Chains A and B, each alone.
Chain A
Amino acid sequence: MKNQLLQIQQVSKVFPGYPWVTALTGIDFQVISGEFVVILGPSGCGKTTLLRLLAGLEKPSSGLCRYRGQEIDSPSLAISYLFQEPRLFPWLTVAENMGLSGHSEGLTALARRMGLADFLKSFPHQLSGGMAKRVSLARALLANPEVLLLDEPLANLDLPTKIGLQQELISIWRRGITSIMVTHDLDEALAVASRILLFSPRPGRIIHDVVLDMDHPRSQDDQRYLLWKRQIMNWTMEVLNHESTK
């Protein structure tokens, strides 16, 4: 199909060592332009590894990842990555950190929109955790990407910060940036996703791939929301029962 942005074809990832760790096995899916894909799975199921493969920071042990038909073998500015931790350079100011990709058009406008305007000359150690995460997100956005990879972006944030950032992510997606987010939190996933890939425990593989037909903003009291929540919980339970009877 023409609008297939990312193709993940039979991807496995094994980390050599003692013992060898199989992080992912037989992963196969496509991402269409404009989706908000949430990869939902337990800790250690290889979600982060999958994002790193898509970002070009690692290479698959077998299989292929393609971006617009081209194999992904190194990072590119078109696919931006928001690390779980902010990873700001402590020796650069907020503005300098934001401009690390080399693109700085619209830096002040973006900073104003994200509430960072007053901190452009500050150093990272002067920021709160949520603030640092915003800077990190701004840095990823300034690279002007087509795809945004989000690694547990809402973890370890206080509630107001979390809600604010969640809205921010939705508005970024609405502006046309295809987003892929990994999380282990079902409510986080249901709040933003247009599609959910449910992962099994390690070695990670896709056990369900569902498209959510819900509009934003979503309410947790909404009937469809509750149905989806129950459905996904059931699937998770099935996997657990299946594992324990094995």
Chain B
Amino acid sequence: MRKRIPWQGWVIPVIFGVSWYLLGHADLIHTGIFPRIHQVWEAIIFLTQRAALQTHLWVSLQRVLIGFATAGLIGVPIGLGLGWAPQLKPWFDPTLHFLRQIPPVAWIPLFIMWFGIGEASKNAVIFYAAFFPIMLNTQLGVEQIPRTYWEVADLYQFTLWKSLRRLVLPGSAPAIITGLRLGMGMSWRALVAAEMLAASSGLGYLIMTARSLVRLDEMVVGMLIIGVMGVAIDGIFALIASQLLPWTKSVSGVRSTDLGRTSYEESATTDTTGV
């Protein structure tokens, strides 16, 4: 099993951490601009003792999981449908492309009016953020299934259900997983933005409150937790992918962990077939 983060990956963070500590120790960091590392550590202790950190983290995680799961449950079938039936594309593509251009954050004021400042508006923002990468990558994944495989399906007279199970789903699975990973990343970012605007809990709220109260160390704690959680969740996805898609291991071991290769951002310029 390949290690998730090889030792080289730790070099820059460790150099950064040590420099951070030394600069603070030598009194070279102006704490009005950036906290010292021990202040951040104390802030973590302070927030953990008051159970604030756990609460914010848990609340944010719940929001992401709900919004993300909804986006997956709706985005994957729609993506499969659009990829499978290209005649639908001219009908939906322009609208979807238009909606995709609008950052989820721009919807927040409207969502707050429609769904209130409670969980519903946050879930809506996260859904919006995660939906497009999931849907578009799924669509792309189906489109990338080589025509030669479709002929095999024709030849052996696959039923609709058999085509889905034997060809469409497994054939687009790597792209779907890429979409899910991108969608998860988008969810996190949108979540923080949503919680910054109107919330009473969550990591975005933690950062925003820390800003209001001029507590730079707590802001940094919030940022660190968001980054660490993002990396951790992505790692879980990569693990699930390697378990779920055993055939991709040796054919293209990089593929399931390399976000860029089949992502929709690149699809506009390169038309690669996915084998």
Contacts and interface: CB of A to CB of B under 8 A. Distances in A.
A and B held together in a complex: yes
A162 B137 CA distance: 41
Nearest to B158: A100
A81 interface: yes
A88 to B, nearest CB: 9
Main secondary structure of the interface of A (DSSP, over half): loop
A236 B152 CA distance: 34
Interface stretch (A89-97, A105-113, A179-187): A89-97
A77 B148 contact: no
Interface of A: 55, 57, 74-77, 80-81, 83, 85, 87, 89-92, 96, 100-102, 123-126, 143
Given A75-B157, A125-B251, A89 B246 contact: no
Interface of B: 148-149, 151-152, 154-158, 162, 166-167, 170-171, 173, 245-247, 250-251, 275
Given A123-B247, A125-B247, A125-B251, A89 B154 contact: no
Main secondary structure of the interface of B (DSSP, over half): helix
Contacts of B246: 123
Nearest to B250: A125
Contact of A76 (B152, B157, B158, B251): B157
A91 B155 contact: no
Given A55-B155, A90-B251, A92-B166, A85 B275 contact: no
A72 B157 CA distance: 14
Contacts of A83: 148, 151-152
A91 B247 contact: yes
A153 B141 CA distance: 30
Given A87-B148, A125-B250, A75 B155 contact: yes
B156 A90 contact: no
Given A92-B170, A96-B166, 7 more contacts: A80-B155, A81-B155, A83-B151, A85-B148, A90-B275, A91-B171, A123-B247
Give 6 closest A-B pairs by Cβ, nearest first.
A91-B170, A101-B156, A75-B155, A123-B247, A90-B247, A91-B247
Contacts of B245: 91
Nearest to A100: B156
Nearest to A81: B155
B166 A89 contact: yes
Nearest to A55: B155
A102 B245 CA distance: 23
Contacts of B173: 91
